[in-house]
């Protein structure tokens, strides 16, 4: 990788020259490129709204997208966007100053969803669900106003795994965050290019680059969050069996509907053994001619 200031984006100025960091950067680039290509995210000439929270994940997302663009592997226009939701104490100047310094085209949108969330959510309940819905609605609105075809989020591999187990433990369903989907209105894509990237890699990358990280005080200050509990479980599994997170993530890409229990995904009623065709035809004829309900034995 060329690290001369004339050849790279300002986002990478001051990047560590260590072999460890170069390997990390190369791994993240490879992971993001795989996700972008595997899930068909590229629309030539499109414009993406890249959502910036100020956390380690969104900084990593922005930097890697610009590197792919610089390499000619991402022929889309990028517009960074931060939605200031009015949380008390939110450092509103950090992201605008950073984006200006890095010469990143951006839009800062202020919308006080914090007051709505604290008013609507009962005491003792978590804010995450309502906060996320309000944030997503405003980001879709901004994307339309800016002529973007996609909203791009910084959810990584571990977010996807945690969501899967939250749905499993608390929602009674097998589901998680898809790397690509179309919104309910059908006019915008939602992409997660970090789908194959480990959270630990995002943290190492953003920390090594000294990006000005903004913590999520709104959600992170609440105790007993289901996501935090799931995260602790996964951390324990990973500690006892290194690499288990990646194995579980691979399982999400290798699903066998015939070996699950959902009749909407697999035709269990239509399953038949390899019987004699003549016998099958006779059985079907007898069933069609019979008006009696067979007795259970």
Q: Encode pLDDT of 127-138 as tens digits.
A: 777 788 888 999
| Per-residue confidence (pLDDT) for residue 238, from 0 to 100 | 96
135: which residues sit within 8 A by CB, 6+ positions away?
Answer: 83, 85, 113
Query: Residue 68 pLDDT > 50, yes or no?
Result: yes
pLDDT at 282 over 80: no
The model's pLDDT over 32-64, given as tens digits with 9 standing for 90+, comes to 999 999 999 998 889 999 999 999 999 999 999
Give the pLDDT of residue 1.
Answer: 41
Q: Would you say 216 is a known binding-site residue?
A: no
Superfamily classification of domain 10-259? HUPs (3.40.50.620)
- 81 labelled as ligand-binding? no
Q: What does the pLDDT average to over 199-213?
A: 96
Any binding-site annotation on 219?
yes
pTM for the structure as a whole: 0.86
Q: What are the pLDDT digits (tens) for 235-273?
A: 999 999 999 999 999 999 999 999 999 999 999 999 988
d(CA 216, CA 221) in angstroms, rounded, equals: 8
């Amino acid at each position: 990788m060329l690290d001369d200031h004339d050849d790279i984006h300002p986002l990478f100025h001051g990047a560590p020259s260590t072999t460890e960091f170069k390997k990390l950067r190369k791994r993240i680039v490879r992971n993001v490129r795989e996700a972008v290509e595997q899930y068909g995210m590229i629309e030539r000439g499109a414009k993406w709204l890249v959502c910036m929270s100020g956390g380690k994940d969104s900084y990593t997302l922005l930097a890697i997208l610009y590197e792919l663009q610089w390499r000619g592997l991402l022929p889309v226009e990028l517009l960074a966007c931060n939605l200031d939701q009015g949380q008390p104490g939110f450092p509103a100047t950090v992201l605008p100053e950073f984006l200006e310094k890095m010469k990143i085209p951006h839009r800062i949108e202020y919308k006080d969803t914090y007051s709505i969330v604290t008013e609507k959510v009962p005491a003792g309940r978590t804010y995450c669900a309502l906060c996320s819905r309000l944030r997503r609605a405003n980001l879709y609105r901004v994307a339309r106003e800016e002529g973007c075809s996609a909203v791009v989020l910084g959810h990584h591999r571990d977010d996807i795994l945690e969501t899967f187990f939250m749905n499993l433990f608390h929602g009674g369903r097998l589901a998680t965050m898809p790397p690509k989907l179309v919104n309910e209105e059908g006019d915008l894509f939602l992409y997660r290019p970090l789908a194959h990237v480990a959270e630990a890699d995002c943290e190492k990358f953003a920390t090594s680059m000294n990006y000005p990280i903004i913590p999520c005080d709104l959600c992170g200050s609440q105790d007993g969050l289901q996501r935090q509990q799931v995260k602790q479980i996964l951390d324990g599994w990973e500690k006892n069996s290194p690499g288990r997170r990646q194995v579980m993530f691979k399982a999400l890409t290798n699903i066998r509907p015939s070996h699950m229990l959902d009749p909407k995904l697999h035709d269990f009623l239509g399953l038949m053994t390899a019987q004699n065709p003549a016998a099958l035809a006779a059985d079907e004829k007898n069933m069609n001619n019979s008006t009696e309900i067979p007795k259970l034995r």
